[in-house]
Amino acid sequence: MHRPVLLVIAHGSRDPRHARAVHALVERVRALRPGLRVETGFLDFNVPSVPGVLESLAAKGARDVVALPLLLTRAFHAKADIPAVLRQAPARLRIRQADVLGPSPLLLSALERRLYEAGLTPADKPSTGVVLASAGSTDPEAIAVIAEIAREWRHTGWCAVRPAFASASLPRTEDAVAELRALGCERVAVAPYVLAPGFLPDRIARGAAGADVLADVLGPAPEVARLLLERYDAARRPALTALGA
């Protein structure tokens, strides 16, 4: 049966590391599902733009598209920017917007992968406090989701987990690091809850100066690639059900 094109929609950045990380993640998605057409579009700063990709797909005969926001929370971009861009797509395209990536157990697995790659081991969990450091948002729903993820992650065995934000919200990463020190955690690790390098992840890294461990951004972690395909499959499932597939 015909499969919709997967269009991964990234924010974009002036920092060239951002686009490189996005493309590496998309390549991993392609490797996981050979034969699926996967395209990448950016909202700003980078090319190709989302409207440009949609125009190209329509011109080449594509009919169905699953637009997947490369976002960890349902903040302004997912609620306003992306739907606005998709409404301007060529009329011949049938577009379904997939859910954002977070929250998901796969993201927690990816966070732990990055912490272990940075030098921790599962045996360190009971004595280690973790800062879950996100970019930040003015959207109360997004902030509440980050706080809930931190609470849930704490129950997997870490000494403590505290949320922190690089912008728009408090506490900052350095304040959360200090709080975990004050709690008596033997070591403190910072886990960036961000998908690609850039200005705000760099701010997180500076705030982690007092920590013992700083993990890398999620980037093309295998769990993130699997999650993209989960969101794609969920978005196209109503159509599959209607066709009896």
In this structure, what token pair is assigned to residue 14?
């002036």
CB 120 within 8 A of CB 134: no
> Percent of the chain, pLDDT > 90?
91
Residue 8: pLDDT band with limits 50, 70, 90:
very high
CB 226 within 8 A of CB 28: no
In this structure, what token pair is assigned to residue 217?
């951004």
Q: Tell me what pLDDT residue 1 has.
A: 52
Angle of helix 105-117 relative to helix 222-243, nearest 10 degrees, comes to 160
State pLDDT tens for residues 91-130.
Answer: 999 999 999 999 999 999 999 999 999 999 999 999 999 9
Q: What is the mean pLDDT of the chain?
A: 95
CB 69 within 8 A of CB 27: no
Q: How far apart are CA 193 and CA 221, in angstroms?
A: 12
Closest C-alpha to 82, from 62, 65, 67, 66: 67
